[in-house]
Amino acid sequence: MIAAIATLFALNIGLLLAVLALARQVGVLHERISPVGALTLDHGPKVGDPVKLLHLTGLSGEAITIGAAGSRSQLLFFLSPTCPVCKKLLPVLRALASSERSRLEVVLASDGDAREHLAFWGRERLGLPYVLSAELGITFQIGKLPYAVLIGQDGTVRAKGLVNSREHIESLLEAEALGVGSTQDFLRKRQAAAE
């Protein structure tokens, strides 16, 4: 009986040591893996460039101005009604527009057949400004979706990139707060400073 208890005690101590070793390894991996933000492509206006002022009309007939200096930043989210990742991010955008309404305006953007987009807008109950403009896509040279551009209150590009998750969208806002163009820029600067 004493031998069995001693064996179980030794096994428990061994198990505890194994859990601690695994926890340490998880911590080491966490430090080595950098956070990944929106992937910035080298197309269109660069971060810091002024945005071409565009006066557009939304799907519901409202006037929408892109690139004007104002009291709020603008987050342009380029999407397609047939893009499953875009659809997955719509609740995130609605929540962001609601929680940050005092400092951020979220604008959905696309091009193509207005009837298809009106049906999509109604079906998804988006409740966000939605513009159809080939000129807007050409201005920012959008080649892949979903893509987002954050325009600062001063009318300049603050951050941009492919966004496939909530974290990617939040990385654009974080990049603006840190004063960098993207999370990748921040990591490059941090690594250069460490070397």
- Write down the pLDDT at residue 43: 77
Look up residue 122 and give its amino acid. G
Q: Both 12 and 90 in a single domain?
A: no
Distances (CA, A) of 79 to 15, 23, 58, 59, 191: 50, 40, 15, 14, 33
Q: Both 133 and 82 in a single domain?
A: yes
Asked whether residue 184 is domain-assigned, the answer is: yes
- Write down the pLDDT at residue 37: 61
Q: What is the pLDDT along the chain (195 residues), one digit of tens a residue?
A: 899 999 999 999 999 999 999 999 888 776 666 555 665 666 789 989 999 999 999 998 999 999 999 999 999 999 999 999 999 999 999 999 999 999 999 999 999 999 999 999 889 888 899 999 999 999 999 989 999 999 999 999 999 988 988 988 998 998 888 887 776 777 777 788 887
User: What's the number of domains the chain is made of?
Assistant: 2
CA 92 to chain centroid? 10
- Write down the pLDDT at residue 145: 92
Give me the domain span that covers residue 15.
1-33
Asked whether residue 172 is domain-assigned, the answer is: yes
Give the predicted TM-score (pTM) of the model. Answer: 0.77
Q: Both 145 and 82 in a single domain?
A: yes
Per the CB < 8 A criterion, the answer to whether 146 and 78 are in contact is: yes
Matching residue, tokens 């002022």: 53
Asked whether residue 44 is domain-assigned, the answer is: no
Per-residue pLDDT tens digits for 29-63: 766 665 556 656 667 899 899 999 999 999 989 99
Q: Both 114 and 188 in a single domain?
A: yes
Q: Both 11 and 90 in a single domain?
A: no
Q: Both 109 and 24 in a single domain?
A: no
CA dihedral 127, 133, 53, 141 (to 10 degrees): 110
Q: Both 95 and 12 in a single domain?
A: no
